[in-house]
Amino acid sequence: MKSVFVYCEVENKKIAEISQELLSAGKRLAQKLGSPLEAMVFGNGLKDIAKQVAPFGVDKIHLADDKRLEPFRTLPHASIAKEILKKENPQIVLFGATSVGRDLAPRLASALNCGLTADCTILDIGDHYVNKEKKEYKDLLYAIRPAFGGSIIANIINWDMHPQMATVREGVMKKEIVDENYKAEIESIDVDNILKDEDLVLKIIERHIEESDVNLKEAPIIIAGGYGVGSKENFDYLYQLSNLLGGEVGGSRAAVDAGFIDHNRQIGQTGVTVRPKLYIAAGISGAIQHTAGMQEASLIISINKDPEAPMNKIADYVIEGDVSDVIPKMIKYYKKNAK
């Protein structure tokens, strides 16, 4: 049976946010194909994990529960995934474009001798006619991603060396519960039978994972600054406005590179993708690498001295002026008019 597989990441017995997004994206593909959605979930102490996975419409869970599988190490996870994928021969396999997915997926693609498209932002199903073979291939994965510094969007296909694999960026796909009581079949993997000593040669001796206190993804209002803000000091205006409105402050890559703001607040292709109800772009010219990560905001205000800034083209309000001049005025008039 041709199916859609999702590799799920588990953190502290919880299915990672990205994996929930992927399960939803995978479900939409599976529905278009009329095929089942299957999840690979590897970790330790996962007795109750099915409750978290199944509601996304997962028909079957391949569960590997073993203390050697957590925290993530490439080789044991790769060996188990290889075994499953060789046996099940799915049509499509999805991974998060995270430090785990981008480590594991290429290793598997190499082992299975198949194609892998990195950092997709759109997934779809479609056909492709191969001129050379005079043959139409039906129901292929369209793995669509920004390429070449973000100046183009490329649709990548793979018609002959399956499975078709893709990694997907975090925050891009919409999470959707199909049914809280969706029933998934659980297939327990015999881990002992698969893992060999050479899968365990790499050892983790220390690990520090910090939960970031910055939550751009959930913020309803984001005030983001670019190089045009001018200085780290000027970013204070952004923080003042953000505190007033109950938002978060973000930055473009140029602002991060200039040292105006921390890396963990970077928005865009190499940072976080956000969908707030209000996005204020202060001194951000709007290179596609940045807009790719914020263009789905419900309302965009662009503050820029340059009337030709690309950001202005997607903005609902364009204010031509200097950030250090405009934002204090916004603060002033908000205080005056807010009830």
**Residue 277 binds another protein (CB under 8 A):** yes
Secondary element (H or E) of residue 239: helix 235-245
Closer CB to another protein, 148 or 193, in the complex: 148
- Closest to another protein by CB, 57 vs 276, is 276
Q: Are 249 and 242 in contact (CB under 8 A)?
A: yes
Using CA atoms, how far apart are residues 70 and 201, in angstroms rounded to an integer?
Answer: 15
CB of 307 to another protein, least distance (A): 8
**Binder among 147, 178, 194, 258 for another protein (CB under 8 A):** 147
Tell me which residues in 163-202 interact with another protein (CB under 8 A): 201-202
Give the shortest CB-13-to-another protein separation in angstroms: 17
Which tokens belong to 249?
């402050």
Helix 74-88 vs helix 101-112: crossing angle, to nearest 10: 50
Q: Which of 106, 139, 146, 105 is nearest to 124 (CA)?
A: 139
The nearest distance, CB 229 to another protein, in angstroms, is: 15
For residues 54 and 118, which CB has a smaller minimum distance to another protein in the complex? 118
- Give pairs for 309-318: CB < 8 Å, separation 24+: 309/284, 309/285, 310/285, 310/286, 311/281, 311/284, 311/285, 311/286, 312/286, 313/286, 314/286, 315/281
Identity of the residue, 59 or 248, whose beta carbon is nearer to another protein in the bound complex: 248
Closer of 6 and 326 to another protein (Cβ): 326
Q: Does 155 bind another protein (CB under 8 A)?
A: yes
The two tokens of residue 206 are 């220390």
Beta strand 4-8 with 10-11: parallel, antiparallel or unpaired?
unpaired
Q: Whole-number minimum distance, CB 240 to another protein, in Å?
A: 14
Rounded CA separation 287/222 (Å)? 18
Segment contacting another protein by CB under 8 A, of 2-10, 87-95, 98-106, 184-192: 98-106
Interaction of residue 243 with another protein, rule CB under 8 A? no
Residues 113-142, interacting with another protein (CB under 8 A): 113-119, 128, 142
Task: Classify residue 191 by its DSSP letter.
Answer: H
Q: Cα(246)–Cα(292) distance, rounded to whole angstroms?
A: 24
Site string for another protein, 46-85 (x = CB under 8 A): -------------------------x--xx--x-------
Nearer CB in complex with another protein: 139/176: 139
CA distance 113 to 108: 8
Among 111, 178, 194, 258, binds another protein (CB under 8 A): 111
Residues in contact with another protein, counted by CB under 8 A, come to a total of 90
Site for another protein in 198-237 (CB under 8 A): 201-212, 221
CB of 180 to another protein, least distance (A): 29
Residues belonging to the chain: 339
Considering only residues 15 through 34, tell me which ones interact with another protein, judged by CB under 8 A. none
Report 282-321 residues binding another protein (CB under 8 A): 286, 288, 291, 295, 298-299, 301-302, 307, 310, 312-321
Minimum CB separation from another protein for residue 59, in Å?
27
The answer to whether 327 touches 303, Cβ cutoff 8 Å, is yes
Q: Which two tokens stand for residue 103?
A: 């480590």
